[in-house]
Amino acid sequence: MSVDVVIPAFNEESSLPLVLAAIPRPPVRRVVVADNNSTDTTAEVARAGGAMVVFEPRPGYGAACLRALSHLRENDPPEIVVFLDGDYSDHPEELPAVIAPIVAGEADVVIGSRTLGRREAGALLPQARMGNFVACTLIRLLYGHRYTDLGPFRAARWNAFERLAMEDQDFGWTAELQVKALRHGMRVVEVPVSYRKRVGVSKITGTLKGTFLAGYKILLTVFRHSFGTVSSKRGKSR
Ligand SMILES: Nc1nc2c(ncn2[C@@H]2O[C@H](COP(=O)(O)OP(=O)(O)O)[C@@H](O)[C@H]2O)c(=O)[nH]1
Ligand SMILES: [Mg+2]
pLDDT tens digits along 25-77 = 999 999 999 999 999 999 999 999 999 999 999 999 999 999 999 999 999 99
Regarding predicted confidence, which is higher, 208 or 81? 81
Ligand 1 centroid distance, CA of 13 (Å): 12
Number of Cα atoms under 13 Å in the Cβ half of residue 98: 32
Q: Which numbered atom of ligand 1 lies nearest the CA of 65?
A: 1
Q: CA-to-CA distance for 9 and 169, rounded, in angstroms?
A: 14
Query: Count of domains in the chain?
Result: 1
- 236 located within any domain: no
- 237 located within any domain: no
Residue 42 is part of which domain span? 3-224
CB 87 near ligand 1, within 6 Å: yes
What angle (nearest 5°) sits at the alpha carbon of residue 91, between those of residues 83 and 166?
Answer: 15
Identify the pLDDT of residue 238: 36
Q: Which numbered atom of ligand 1 lies nearest the CA of 202?
A: 15
- 231 located within any domain: no
Ligand 1 centroid distance, CA of 36 (Å): 10
What mean pLDDT comes out for the span 134-162?
A: 97
Ligand 2 centroid distance, CA of 79 (Å): 26
Identify the pLDDT of residue 223: 95
- 44 located within any domain: yes
Beta-strand pair 188-192/109-113? parallel
| CA of residue 69 relative to chain centroid, distance | 12
- 127 located within any domain: yes
Residue nearest (by alpha carbon) to ligand 1 atom 17: 204
122, pLDDT greater than 70:
yes
- 177 located within any domain: yes
Residue type, 138: L
- 235 located within any domain: no
CB 9 near ligand 1, within 6 Å: yes
- 184 located within any domain: yes
Write the CATH number for 30.
3.90.550.10
CB 33 near ligand 1, within 6 Å: no
